[in-house]
Every structure is written in structure tokens, then in C-alpha cells.
Structure 1
Amino acid sequence: MIDRFLRIRENSEQLCKPLYIEDYSLQASEFVSPPKWHLAHSTWFWEEFVLTKYDTNYVLYNEDYHFMFNSYYNNVGKRVLRPSRGLMSRPSVAEVYSYRKYVTDSMVTFLNTIPSEVILAIVEIGINHEEQHQELLVYDIKYIFGNQPTLPIYQDSLKTKLETQADDFISINAGLYEIGHQGNGFCFDNELGRHKVYVGDFGISAKLVSNREYLDFIMAGGYINFNFWHDDGWSWINSNKIEAPLYWHKIDKEWWNYTLNGLEKLDLDLPVMHLSFYEAFAFSEWKGCRLPTEFEWEIASDKFKWGQLWEWTNSAYLAYPGFSKLPGALGEYNGKFMINQMILRGGSVATPEGHSRKTYRNFFPPDMRWQFSGLRLAK
């Protein structure tokens, strides 16, 4: 557990190695958090939920951080509102790294006391929490860089790959299937409540939709034909003048897109990414298909390769039967967000290795597209 904890802590800092000091405090949009905030918040989590609760020898690093780096935990107390995270020039980046070291060292000392299974279960949540923030950190860095005039390079290791499997639909027979997490491995509370679901016969694509296919949708007038869109989606694209996926740029009649390796010509054979649910739904309508439900996706997931991009489903984020929240602040982790969100399944090239599983239920509002999201068709 100590080795894993240290590896996770180091991974967060490695993601920030390519940054300049000026990059750490930028907040390019209300839904984006500055890299410095991610580093501090993922440290605050250990201090708040483990050290101050269970280590009688622990001394707070800085009392102000209790308020400054809380995210959304009302049970913990007041917090800096999310749109204001980028206004905090203090503490300095150096001080945040000092804070991280202090808390990391304190955690190692505490873990060496061999805490109870109850505490270790919270440590497991903390490890997965920091992994979630590592993925969000990549999203936010890309958004920060992708909205700068020079479109700078971050790194080129987080690339999607060509999908070489046949472009076929996989047939799944109607029947009663079990959905949800089982076994002794870690999962979040929203995966629990394993239950039976009946689905009819369906087909699901072996491949993600490509840039080439999505460009065909654009060229066919997909963004100017209201028949393909939910009313909310139609209002959204018109209000925000959306004409293509996030990070796509048309330059001298050619399509380019911003990647973590800088601005590149659009590779038509790669999976299309950075789509909102609205766009994924509209494309599926244009193709005469649909998005799979999250149940269909889970049932079929062993029959195709997944993990390059989070895949939109046509399922709203709702509780499974028997869902119950943990007491206190940790009970706010998932349950209170079960409204106005859509489910994505799978994982992405930005997801830490081993973090996802086929029962993992990611969720975002339907207009969000800065996450590494794509789609797989069903019919």
C-alpha cells in the first residue's frame, strides 16, 4: 500500500513536469481547475480524510488550506468557489510542492503504523481519487494550452491509436443480464447494487467512430440540420456557435486539430474525440443508429477493445437499486451528482493504468467535451 501510495503521488507530479511555472495557476474556463489547485486538492484529501481524522500526532500544515483546497464537500465546511480557483496566486507553486511533501511523508509514517481495514479502505478511495485528478489534470492542461495563441506542445505520449479491427457490428442476443460490480476489488459506490437488466437484441460497433466518419457528418450539414439534435443540443450549438469537435481548426480549407503534441493535420483514421453528448447523439441519428445504453455497453464490453476514449452512452446517471451513500463527506463523492448528467463508459489514454474497469460509471453534463470522449454506435 505504501509503495502504491508513493507511486500515485509521484505520478501526479510527473504530469506537471512539462509545465512552466506560469502554467500552474491558469484557469482557462469555469469548469477547468489550475494545475496547482489539483496538486493541492489531492493533498488536502489525504490530510482531511485520513491524517486529521486518524493520526493523533498529525499537525496541520496550514489551517487556511482546509478552506482553500476543499472542492465540493459541504460536510467539510466552506470553500473557495470553483470559478475563483484561478485567482489564487498564493500559495506559490513551490509552497504547494512543500505541502505535498509534508503530507506524503506524514502519510508514509502513518501507514507504517499498520492502520485498520476501515482506514485502509479510505486510503484506497484516496488513491483512486488522486488518479481521477490525474486524468482531470491532463484535460485541464490541454484546455489551458489549447486556448493559447501558440498552441504549445505538452507531451506526445497520450495518443490515441488506429483501430485495426473489422468495421463490423457485434450481435448480442436478448436476455436477462447482471449489471454492476462484483468481487473483492475496489469500486466506487455508484457501481454497487448489482442487479438484473433485460435487454432486447442489439448490435454494437466493434470500432469507435473515426475522424473521417465525423467529418462526413460535418460536410453533410450535420451542424445545420436541427432534425439530428435534441432541442437542448440544438440550442447549445447555436448559442455557442459550435461547428466541429473541440480543438478542430479549419485553416486554408484543411482541417487541423490541437493535440498534446501541438497543432497537427487531422488524422482521418483516428477515433474522433472531444465530443459532447449532444454531438455524439446527433451523429448517431445521422447514421441511422443510436448510442448504446450503459447496460448494453457493459454486456458487450468483453467482445470489443475499449479504453482509448470514454464512450458516451444514452443512459442518464442514476442510482442502481439499493444504492447507499457513505456517512459524512465521503457520501458526497457520487450520489449528489445523480441529476442532469450522462454516463460514459470505458476509459481513455489519459486514464491511469489499472484505474478503470468495465463497470466504471463516469459521468458528465451533456455539453461537456474537454474530457477525452468519443462514441461507439449501436443499433
Structure 2
Amino acid sequence: MNARFEPVVGAASDVARYRDVRAAMVDLAQGLSVEDLSAQSMPDCSPGKWHLAHTSWFFEAMILGDDPAYRPVDPRFQQLFNSYYEALGERVARHQRGLMTRPSVEEVLAYRREIDRRMVDWLAQAPSGGQHRYLLELGLHHDQQHQELFLMDMLNLMSRSPLDPAAYEVEPRARPVETARGGAVAFDG
């Protein structure tokens, strides 16, 4: 039986924050074609679907996989979506990520949804250890870093097309993660 946990008060804000950060890249992928998300415009870029999967892999490998009883969603993903974490096993070289036609974009999104479900269950248990808190924070910042990389790689991809496409009708804006504090500060020239 797969027990579901109801978030406790402290975990509720972690769940909300996790969901908010994780939703941003999926929102960035909305409206892009499967081809847009699968292409790699140059060796220093990664396909959009790789970013979507890699950030999910991070939570699976670094947090969920810490439990000895944990079973990966798909053990093959441990190699496919690793980036530079040599201690965690083999990986696909960055310049070859665009050659991976499988898994499909839909399979990557399903993987992402499953990792998010598992992470919400984990967060609902209100992990409080310093290592757990550190890895959660690191994972959220890592996801945000890849949101920026996703946008840079999409911009590079679109700039390579003679059709001069726009990835977005309206320029995406970053979501504030924390409430703004302070105000404007003026400095003399």
C-alpha cells in the first residue's frame, strides 16, 4: 500500500514553494513544439526536454535516492539525465544530448510529474535534518538555474532558424521566490 501523507503546517510552505519553483520550467515549455524541446543548437546547449528531465533527476538522485529502499522511476534515467556528477555514475556527454530521441517529451513530462508526486510525499513528512534542508534548497536553486539555461538554450535555438521564430509571444518573466524586501536605494554618480 502506498501511504499518502497530509502536509503538516511546516511542510505546507515547503510543498507550495517546491510546486511553484518546479512549475516555472513547465510553464516555459508550454507552447513549444516537441521539435523545439528536442533540438540541440550547439554543443554548449542542451535540449529543453533534457533540462526538464535533468532537474527531476537531481531530486530523484540527490534526495529520494538517499533512502536505501527507494526504487527509481526508470533506472536508465540515472545515466541519461546525469550531467557532471561523476560519483553518481555514467552520463551522456553534453554535446550528444540532442541525439537522444528517446524518451519522448511526453515520457519526460510523465517522469517529471512522478518525481514531483514523490517529492511532495517526501516533503509532507516534514524532513528537518540539516542535510535534507540543504539538499532541498540546493535542488530548488538548481531548478531555477536550469530555468535560465532553458531560456538561453531556446533563445540560441530560435536564433539559428532562417524563419526567425519567436519562442514566446510575450517575454517570460521570472517569478519572485521570496517576498521583496526593502526598497529603492539611490547612489550618487
Partner of 2:141: 128
Contact 2:80 2:91 in 1 (8 A): yes
Q: Does 1:78 align with 2:78?
A: no
1:139 equivalent among 143, 148, 152: 152
C-alpha distance in 2, partners of 1:58/1:157? 41
C-alpha distance in 2, partners of 1:50/1:142? 31
Partner of 1:154: 167
1:114-172: per-residue Cα shift (whole Å, max 9, x none)?
A: 1123202210110000000001100011111110110112225438xxxxxxxxxxxxx
Partner of 1:112: 124
TM-score when scaled to structure 1?
Answer: 0.42
| Alpha-carbon distance, 1:352 to partner | 4.9
Contact 2:63 2:135 in 1 (8 A): yes
Partner of 1:32: 45
Comparing 83-92 with 15-24, greater Cα deviation is found at 15-24
C-alpha distance in 2, partners of 1:8/1:149? 34
2:176 equivalent among 346, 349, 353: 353
1:60 equivalent among 72, 81, 84: 72
Q: CA RMSD in A?
A: 2.0
Contact 1:131 1:352 in 2 (8 A): no
1:173-198: per-residue Cα shift (whole Å, max 9, x none)?
A: xxxxxxxxxxxxxxxxxxxxxxxxxx
Partner of 1:10: 23
Contact 1:41 1:69 in 2 (8 A): yes
Higher relative contact order (CA 8 A, sep 6+): 2
C-alpha distance in 1, partners of 2:164/2:85? 35
C-alpha distance in 1, partners of 2:86/2:40? 23
Residue-pair matches, total: 166
Aligned AA (2:151) = V
Partner of 1:48: 61
Unaligned 5+ segments in structure 2 are: 1-13, 179-189
Aligned AA (1:353) = P
Partner of 1:88: 100
Aligned AA (2:135) = I
C-alpha distance in 1, partners of 2:70/2:114? 11
Higher helix share: 2
C-alpha distance in 2, partners of 1:80/1:130? 19
Aligned AA (1:39) = L
Q: Does 1:98 align with 2:118?
A: no
Q: Secondary structure at the match of 1:138?
A: helix
TM-score when scaled to structure 2?
Answer: 0.82
